[in-house]
Structure 1
Amino acid sequence: MPVLRIHGYALAVSFCLITLIAASQRTDPSEVNALIDIKKSLIDPYNNLEDWNEGDPCAANWTGVWCFDKKGADGYFHVREIYLMTMNLSGTLSPQLGQLSQLEIMDFMWNNLTGTIPKEIGYIQSLKLLLLNGNKLSGSLPDELGYLSNLNRFQVDENHLSGPIPESFANLTNVRHIHMNNNSFSGQLPSTLSKLANLMHLLVDNNNFSGYLPPEYSMLDGLAILQLDNNNFSESGIPSTYANLTRLVKLSVRNCNLHGAVPDFSSIPELTYLDLSWNQFTGPIPSNKLSDNMTTIDLSNNHLNGSIPRSLSYSHLQKLSLANNFLSGFIPASLWRNMSFGEKDKLTIDLHNNSFEAVLGNLNLPANVTLRLSGNPICMNSNIQSIGQYCGAEGDEAASYPINSTPVCPVQSCPKDNFYEYCPSSPVPCFCAAPLRIGYRLKSPSFSYFAPYRISFERYITNSLQLDLYQLSIDSVAWENGPRLRMYLKLFPSYNDSHSNMFNISEVRRIKGLFSSWKFPRTDFFGPYELLNFTLLGPYESMDLDLEKRKISVGIIVAAVIAAVACVVAISAIVILLISRRHMKYQKKISKKRTSTNVSIKIDGMKTFTYKELALATNKFNISNKVGQGGYGNVYRGILFNETFVAVKRAEESSLQGQKEFLTEIELLSRLHHRNLVSLIGYCNEEGEQMLVYEFMPNGTLRDWISGNSKETRGSLSFCMRLRIAMGAAKGILYLHTEANPPIFHRDIKASNILLDSKFTAKVADFGLSRLVPYLDEEGTAPKYVSTVVKGTPGYLDPEYLLTHKLTDKCDVYSLGIVYLELLTGMRPISHGKNIVREVNMARESGTTYSIIDSRMGLYPSNCLDEFLALALSCCQDNPEERPSMIDVVRKLEDIIAMLPEAETLLSDVSLDSSGNIAPSSSASTSGSHVIREEQHISSCVSGSNLVSDVTPIIVPR
């Protein structure tokens, strides 16, 4: 009888399992197998796709996999979209992608994929968006891609692709956007692309195309943007039939080796942007007036002759460049005289290196106009008054634009270090919330200066997202090669929402869906955009946007209910057994967790402490011994049995690291030995505790001394002392980048992580976020970056790292530059909605630099301060390539210190004297019995016997 009962239960359970599997089976089996093969071909260092082996793709919501809401005619659910953008994936694209027969969106943007594009992708007839840009794909385009008759957007830009455009692309009858720029495509542009009646944007710039420009493209009635720059169409000029492109907004053929006459484009009513520069065009400038919408006309660096037509005057013009031609005659003042400028409007007229002899009309230019005349005979005419100011060296266009500051708000209202900030334009003053941060780039804008169109752009974005205008803040606007306009968008939640300090998950998902599906209304003036990143930081970091992303159909619910009813009897018989087993398993898991942190760790040269020893050293972690706090836990001052002072960093229970991570941090710190790095003495790993024991830094953090908030910071740091601390921090980071083996990127350089010992030697601390640089590859080449999720402290984060997730040595340089600006100004990186880099740049540009310098550091030589400030700002350049390396930073600081008359005194150790002032140690004194007080030390830095005031001004801050 018991045997029969067991068999009965077994049969019941088997029946239940079969029924439940049948009810939960959702995804087409061939697509499941395809997804598994796709994952096998990818390298996923951060396990973003770890759930691709669990359950059914559509039922279990695999990361990045989106399915249709209803079953198909075959009774299965099918994969509709794949979103694997910016996941640090490498490896190759699997041919099994072709098995996803009903896929509509394939998004692998901004990863590190290599290899070729599988021809099998061309078999997915349903595909609408093919987004492969920003990888390292190579080889040629398969002919099979021309079978994608439903394709709307084809983006393979910024790869290493080569070869010609297949003739089969003439079959992409529904395509609206072809973006193939920044590759190595070659050959003749196919004339058959003229069959693409729906094509709006064709971007093939920065390739190796040759031959001629197909005249047949004039048949593209809907073409609005044609960008062909930096190719070699040496066999032709611009076909005159292109004047029939009546929808054209932008034509850019810069540096294409074109020749012949400049066509007359006056019949194109919507033309806004015309760039024909760096070609071989000859003859005069057409006299017929172009569209009134013109913002940019660039005919520079050609062989044009004749005079400037008086018709070349437009109310919205921002840039007119005719430089480096053979133009002559008079310069008509109508170019600027009849324009009505708004506050944010700007016009640059570049006429240098021609043969102009005079201005026809009044030369008095509005403040908004920049005129460049160098290299013209007019600059040699002494009879023309005030001409000299226009004949100097060429100026540079502003690469970025200041952003309006927010009102002054109380610091304590916004949570610190949690990516909250004030909404700059909120109707509610000082509304504090967590914004969504979005990397965004206009790939082919039809203007040269953004400021006049910023408000209309903000309206375009917020209307497209169904948000209020105040919910958008634009930051880090900068021009890049192309020219393309990169920006950093911040979207704030509504202050009217019940959870007004952040967006809920459904709203985040909706906003991301609009960006990544290109569902914004068409705008040819702002041109096509690309989503660079959609990074979830702060309170959004734990959101899983793939959860609850699909509605469960009624049929599935009914099937699940029927299956559940059918299994009730069988399940009830084994419920007690399952609960018992689960309880035992849980207890075992808890026991394992409790004992996991007691695994023995032994590292040479590293002392292990017991919990009892550290509790005794810190008086049972008494609050009076607490000297700091961070995300890891609290830091306590302690005294060991041998009377050694130490700092004990104790992890809170909620932030206990895994055993592997804890061991890795100890092993990392045990290998670092440098005067300017905080030393790790030992660790404790018992009784569920994880503690690190460091040498004690009696003078606390640099942040405390800059702010003066701590009672420990009784003195004030002079300019000389700040230079000395800057040098110490730089040398510590230089050691990490060049002498540690393997090198290390710190990733969290900030003023509170630079500690000061008893002699005010700066020591870099807190390596909790540090990353090892991978070893040399097989060719002996060191990698330039590490792909990683964004970690760090707001205000110190490299904007390029935020956008690309690529961690480099220049990320530490940027953060150190912020620290240097703090040293000079006393400001915080972000305070009251103001960004320190922006504030310092604005002060410098307006000539009010000294008004923002921290007055507490006393006197300083202006030349030294100017050099230090320039170094700090160079470290904070948006473009990492424009920042100095750490070795360059150290060398520049050495040069600045050498400019001081008492450089040796500056570089010596100092301490606090009995009155609480900073003074050099006895070893640094100029005589054996004389100790220089802080006031005298300042004086020696700025007014030594060899320093005269008329050579180096002494600045006294207000």
Structure 2
Amino acid sequence: MGVVWLFTNFSLFLSLLLCLANSQQNDDAAAMMKLRDSLGNPSTLGWSGSDPCNWLHVGCLDNRVARIQIGNQNLQGTLPQELKDLTQLTRFEVMNNQLTGALPSLSGLSSLQVLFLHNNTLSSIPPDFFAGMTSLTSVYLDYNPLESWEIPESLKDASALKEFSANGANVAGKIPEFFNSYVFPGMETLHLALNYLEGGLPLNFSGSTIQSLWLNGQKSNSRLNGTISILQNMTSLKEIWLQGNHFTGPLPDLSGLTSLEDLNLRDNSLTGVVPPSLLNISTLRVVNFTNNKLQGPTPSFARTVDVDMIPGTNNFCLDNPGVACDATVNVLLSVAKNFGYPASLADFWKGNDPCTSTQAWEGITCAGGDILVINLKKAGLSGTISSDFSLISTLQKLILSDNMLTGSIPDKLISLSNLALLDVSNNKLSGQIPKFRSNVQVEYGGNPDIGKSNTSYAPPGAPGSTPSGTGGGSDDSGNKNSVSGKIVGSVVGAVGAVCVVGLGVFFYSRKQKRSSKVQSPNMMIIHPRRSWDQDAVKITVAGSSANSGVESFTDSVGPSDIQVVRTENMVISIQVLRNVTNNFSEENILGRGGFGTVYKGELHDGTKIAVKRMESGVITEKGLAEFMSEIAVLTKVRHRHLVALLGYCLDGNERLLVYEYMPRGTLSSHLFSWKEEGFKPLDWTRRLTIGLDVARGVEYLHGLAHQSFIHRDLKPSNILLGDDMRAKVADFGLVRLAPEGKASIETRLAGTFGYLAPEYAVSMTALAEMNDSLCFTVFIGHTELEHIHSLVMSAGAPFLTGRVTTKVDVFSFGVILMEMITGRKALDETQPEDSLHLVTWFRRMHINKDTFRKTIDPTINLDEETLGSISTVADLAGHCTAREPYQRPDMGHVVNVLSSLVEIWKPAEPDSDDMYGIDFEMPLPEVLLKWQAFDGSSSSFLASGDNTQTSIPTRPSGFADSFTSADGR
């Protein structure tokens, strides 16, 4: 009887377990059916049948749904509440779709490890969203237009979290204190860029394991602010992106960050001297300090470091990297260090001479080059008084009253033999007053703790002064100090005099040495990038043909002159250019375009240059002024992926521009005529790298906000390749240099059909005029005219103004990406009518995987990894060529997407036998580095604050998440 009872109960128990398992399976099936319906049951997923474990992109374990991976499927619809019933779900990936609506709560999904929701249009996130997700390791919420939200406390349940990314997701408030090593001991990635965060960096960051920290580009009024000193205690960091915020104070000592690779602090208000220890971090690869208030010498990083530190955008004493500041400047910076390098001083303590008549340093009075008075009253100073004031031996008055200084008055100040007044009243000083000479007046009232024992305090505001040494000390002592001060002053003066004489001899001998190297009667040095650059391009000049701005000095050995064109004046004689181009012979032509003909030139020393001879036309006085103005701007544009302008010539109606020579020719020739040119077809890795180079160059142009640099004619023939097959963008800024008059309407339009964005067109009247223009019909013909007419009509406005934004370049770049994928031209008249326009054809073919694979250039070796990379670039190309400008990403987003792909494709070891070998770990060859630096700059050419473009993608609210054939033009 007992055995039967036990057996019966055991059977009932098993039955209950089976019922429970079936119930859970049914719950999973019901939740998946609901998900399918919420997505509109898209045919692309192929979800049919009642068992979701048999569906594509779904993985099960023990008949329970464990994985849903439906990213990059062009899905629309919403996410249902029933998702939280999938209690065994470990991965949920729906990124890069067009999902809308509120996120449902997923609280209680304790098995969930990976959550990819980025690049959708989800509208909100519930506060309990992360509750109970104890296994969660990776969260990506980037670029969803969520309603303003703060990172909830429920995230702390995910103690295994390694990656949390919510760039451009409207995160507000302060960075939570719980992002620390106690709550998240394995945290590696924290990306919260382009949000609305405010406040400072949490002190709890100290000791964290975070390796990649992106907090750049906050949009709140106060942005992220305060100091960044906590970074020195985050020793696992490899990547720090804090650009575009309001951080202040000095750079901390980051020598403990032994794995640091990328440090971007651009567009903040950081002050002080760059710590020398930073230069010794061997892993460092990228540094960006542009647009801060950094002081001291310009740091000189190793050649392996890609440095973005535009001259004139900080307060360095000199723009020359590695050159020490004047000794007096170093003393004053040491003084500022004790005050915490306040911004109030950094704004006015600039240059290498505090006594300069043109820009005297705030609070400093000089006579004959000697500092007599330092008056920093009510300067908002905190910190302590530096003993290095004692090194300014000529100082007569030191006024530091009405600040918040602490500590004591340094004893070394008694050595100042010329000091007559020391005013430190109304601070928070303490300790004993040093024994100054009897003729030194010391004002110290308003310091309750000064001159008193620890148990005795003066009442607030009590007066105090020592007009005749009442601070203690005898006349003997004062006299001795006075004498010693004079001796020190005399010794320093003598040493200084010797140094001056020595420097004079050095520079004179150096000048003689340079003069002795002259090989010809006259030599012109065009556009040296740095005043000390020994590799400046030199051109022999026949006669004295150099124009204004030339400095001449005579060699003592003979009558020869050396004519040096200053960096702000790059005028080159037309006779020189005729000589080096063999009188502009046909044999020297490199190419022709809408702006003129390009000739190859070779200098006497073998250096090759490219000379663009612009189409001639009558130059009015206004046109001349515009030309000179644009030249002045173009000389400031320096980037490793932009072709450098070396000089120019203006002779009558002749206008010529001199550029660096790019020996590998155009991207166009490598894509479309590689057989005829005898090239090897570009593999996918090379195309990807070239695309990233171009994107970075254009991103830089778009970042020059005050000059509104828009290329307007971006195409493969304007992308040039160097010996290392790295790309540079050419012909930027030429639209404003185009000749005047009706004959040049095709260059004034500044675009090439096939690459023109829909909004960048002209009125129908202008189209008619252009059709009547012989010059115009030569360039475009009837078919292309119909094409631009259709573009205007499809844009929804028959009379457009031609007003453009940076998004026209984004459109052109998207077309170039399509060309690199397909190997086909943007407009190919050899194709049938329905395939004539690449963008339209590409969109149609991209609809499904089978037809898309047929679009890929057959010279590209395809495997699954390559196909995946190409697919990502194809999606990006579609976004870039979206119909509406606001739906296109900016170039920052493009750079971010491509750089992540290039990073994946880095070879373990470069193939030394490859004619196109690229060393991804090294900078460009030294010969190209000399085109990087500005010869002079102004902050007016820089992007400021809110308009700064960064390498973090800014995803507009209307950003096109996908593209279809309906978008075709």
TM-score range, shorter chain: 0.3 to 0.5
TM-score normalised over the length of structure 2:
0.39
